[in-house]
Chains A and B, each alone.
Chain A
Amino acid sequence: MDQKLEGKPSASLRLDGRKVTRSEITNHWGTRLQWKISRDGKEIAAVTAGPEPVFEHADAAPGKYEIVLQQFHYVGYAKDKDGKFTTSKYVDISEPVTYTV
């Protein structure tokens, strides 16, 4: 019996300077959470989002930053020849927040 993750997780983000605080996650799938960080529209990092709700990205290079909380959506365990999941993937579970350095 493979697990089927139903519903959609959701969290809201609050920005204070460069510090991002997430709310509790509703419909938490239990899978890994990560902060996806983009600068000027290009993804530059994906960092594990641990139990602590606060995150501050260390990179201070000039640009427009966007941060969004993602969770791994397990659909099936199939992987390609490089070992990457083919159907399971990270999905956004919050609206992004943005700031400029």
Chain B
Amino acid sequence: MLHIGNEYIPLCSGTNRRSFLQLGAAAMTGMTLANFYKLNAAGAVDEKKAKIRNCITLFLVGSPGQHDTWDMKPDAPEDVRGKFKPISTSVPGVQICEHFPRMAKVMDKVALIRSLHYNTGSSHENGQRWMMTGHDFNAANKQPFMGSVISRVFGPKGDLPASIVLPVGIGNTGTSTPHGQESAFLGSAHAPFFLGSDPARADFKVADLEPPKGQTEFRVEARRKLLTEIDEVQRQVETSSTLERDTAYARAFNLLTNPTTKKAFDLNEEPAKLRDRYGRNTFGQSCLMARRLIERGSRFVTVNQFDTVFGISCWDMHADGGSLNNTYADYEHVLCPQFDLAFTALLEDLQQRGLLEETVIAVISEFGRTPKLNARGGRDHYPSVWTNFLAGGPIRGGRVIGSSDKIGAAPHDRPVTPPQVVASIYQAMGIDLETTMLPGPGGRPIRFIEAEPIRELFS
């Protein structure tokens, strides 16, 4: 039976059947939607009644080629199979690229999805929207980022934002269309917190957690009080957007002035040996910070491995000789080793701390890459099939879901779409998609996503 919200297992401070009925009454008496949200924000997560899990998403911006990573085709012609060789893993019959030797040892914890595909365009932004939200859309009809949905549904746990993006948001990846990391109709209160700097740098500071130059924390607090007074006046002419800003301001001030939240971002508290285990690079230290933030109460942490595909070493291996000149050399010397080290460190670290069971790890990318090497020895965008994977939480590792054909050009069996992956992440985090709905634009209850979770991930 489909409910608007979940009356019997109130997951969160979010919406349940009863609260939606209250919303209906409130609307008749003139209460704004934002005010309704605000009232809900005062609620508490009842974790005793539902198993709520966290999620760390590693977003491989640029997108690795399936043939060169997790769906190798050693028997295909040379211009398809590429340069790298497969190695065996801890799961009999499952092979991955030779440049992931550590990952090969923990494949029993990983569920590969080798038949992911879509057919609505092949720009990076297309793939980002699909994989960050489970929808494709345009700027006029934005859909919320998974992290914003989680923020709205579960609310914050402690003083940290429910959704945090590390190290920075996605910037220029080719077109000026949305990247899918916005809160959209859920409002600014559920926008992710963007770290905004590189945690691997020796001079790392979280820009938003430092009082502006020349201001002491006392002055910041004084400003907060002043703003509160102004807000009281403003409430007389309030709109939904000002109320959303209430939460955003409160969150910003809390981050700025709370020593505990500031410490959450301090990697110097971690043993040097552990920092080395993750790799002293932007991605590795972001993964370590993701674990710290989850451990300290954030619910959904996203690591954007890159913020652009131009002029840097990233997965976007066009080998064009210009600003998109990533090649096998980048994969071999930089990208695969750094991923292998950081991903396995994260898995091990979460497991050792007893956090892996309550934390889903989603490794996702925008699309795959062309089966046949281009004239320069690179591979171009290819959304017709690729491989992503999940681990942790209730995800059953050591399995491969779906397959691609002999040359990695199309799904061979069990085709999977991006919304199914997003639905699986929601389910793995503890949202019952059959019995819970999300407040959509204008408060209209909507399904989280028009797709079913991938059942084989859980059985």
Contacts and interface: CB of A to CB of B under 8 A. Distances in A.
B284 interface: yes
B17 interface: no
B329 A84 contact: yes
B312 A77 contact: yes
Interface of A: 1-7, 9, 24-33, 50-51, 72, 74, 77-79, 81, 83-85, 88
B402 interface: no
B393 to A, nearest CB: 26
Nearest to A2: B312
A30 B337 contact: yes
23 contacts: A1-B168, A2-B311, A3-B282, A3-B313, A4-B200, A5-B281, A6-B200, A6-B202, A27-B276, A29-B280, A30-B281, A30-B283, A30-B342, A31-B337, A32-B99, A50-B101, A51-B105, A72-B337, A74-B334, A77-B312, A78-B325, A79-B327, A79-B329
B329 A6 contact: no
Nearest to B105: A51
A19 B86 CA distance: 27
Given A3-B282, A77-B325, A79-B327, A72 B276 contact: no
Contacts of B333: 31-32, 72, 74, 85, 88
Nearest to A50: B101
A3 B273 contact: no
B44 to A, nearest CB: 37
Nearest to B279: A30
Contacts of B282: 1, 3
A32 B334 contact: yes
B388 interface: no
Contacts of A9: 280
Nearest to B276: A28
A10 B272 CA distance: 13
Contacts of A84: 329
A77 B311 contact: yes
A32 B335 CA distance: 9
Nearest to B196: A1
Contact of B201 (A4, A81, A88): A4
Most chain B CB inside 10 Å of its own CB: which residue of A26, A29, A50, A78: A29
B320 to A, nearest CB: 11
B434 interface: no
A25 B329 contact: no
- Give the size category of B's interface with A: 35 or more
B280 to A, nearest CB: 5
Interface of B: 99, 101-102, 105, 167-168, 198, 200-202, 272-273, 276-284, 306-308, 311-313, 319, 321, 325-327, 329-330, 332-334, 336-338, 341-342, 377
A77 B327 CA distance: 10
A4 B203 CA distance: 12
Contacts of A51: 101-102, 105
Nearest to A9: B280
A72 B280 contact: no
Contacts of B272: 26
Nearest to B306: A1
Given A3-B198, A51-B102, A31 B276 contact: no
Given A30-B338, A72-B333, A74-B334, A6 B280 contact: yes
A28 B312 contact: no
B154 to A, nearest CB: 29
B9 to A, nearest CB: 41
A33 B280 CA distance: 14
B283 A3 contact: yes
B280 A30 contact: yes
A32 B334 CA distance: 6
Contacts of A81: 321
Contacts of A27: 276, 280
A81 B376 CA distance: 11
A29 B341 CA distance: 10
Contact of B341 (A7, A24, A30, A78): A30
Contacts of B200: 3-6
A7 B325 contact: no
Contacts of B341: 28, 30
Given A1-B168, A3-B200, A83 B281 contact: no
A81 B377 CA distance: 13
A57 to B, nearest CB: 19
A50 B103 CA distance: 12
A83 B337 contact: no
A58 B101 CA distance: 21
Contact of B284 (A1, A4, A30): A30
A6 B201 contact: yes
Contact of B281 (A3, A26, A78, A85): A3
